[in-house]
Structure 1
């Protein structure tokens, strides 16, 4: 199935879940996603890391080779973008002539992305939540799935547990995911599930992770902490 959309000088075809760009207009794609309520950020070619230089930040972590600086920069920049979003001109400037990958920021307008690490975890959860899963933007990743939702209240990025198993991560405030159309250095790629791109459906509104039978921490750990009458951290 192929859908075609044209807006001004932007033309793209949705073929098998992947947006095929014409005229090399990654910037137009990113701007159009912004109009749909998604903030795109440039990622380094073949990888998952923010391309800070393309966003006009000094990449201190590359100069110092310090992982703590990388994690601080990525979390703080994505948090700030979700709170004070860039305009279309900023997005266009970041992506003009850019040939790397595309990231999508969590937390903007309460966007929550369920990042399932593998097919098994996603399929196990999907069995009881097909109605919402089939009606919201979803992307196939090299090993799992990304499910895009919006929450009533702000969410913080965390781990993702289903039953007794850790199945991935929640990407919300302070986080981002690799988006379509992106490809990794090993040749694997990200693509929208057919008829479930942000241009086809809106993110479904949910109350919380609990309403989806999901948790930020494992059920066993939460019960154990309660038994010992000690607090627990939701982000792990």
Structure 2
């Protein structure tokens, strides 16, 4: 079964450069739908879920697996790095309150370092790659344009390796992975790697930050 580093070293940087340098997407079409879903892979899903659960306009965030087959969507198998899956989070949101482009900006600004190939913080392997799995043609176009925009702006010194990948389906992870950051804020991995990202969200995007996390299960 896959294991996590205890992450006893100092916390890695949230991204390679000041958050303020990550611009808003130039392409971000309006959407009057009542609800949409988006799928992001940004390393360990505990932190990705934890950040998006604090975004105003997000109504749900579920940890899971994307990029591979349903039969392989199991933590032990995914941890082998041979299934094609990445640890991912499916975000349900109200596009009238928070746009897909804003979710992308938060993803690149505070969730993941888009310049490290198959690695985020202490975690290594293809299952920890950064990737975007669009659920609509419009999301694909927006994400593709935004990656090109960020690359042209040279926000990071190293090239962006995050890919827009085909959406082959999202498969929820085991129950014990859900709401991990909210349930175990004192867990060393969370303290060193993920709580700084939630704080970065609060500081950099106060207009999009919600203090009370939206969770999969009732906490407490």
- Bin for the TM-score computed over the shorter chain: under 0.3
In our comparison, the structure showing a higher alpha carbon Rg is: 1
- Larger RCO, structures 1/2 (Cα 8 Å, 6+ apart): 2
TM-score (norm: length of structure 2):
0.28
Structure with higher strand content: 1
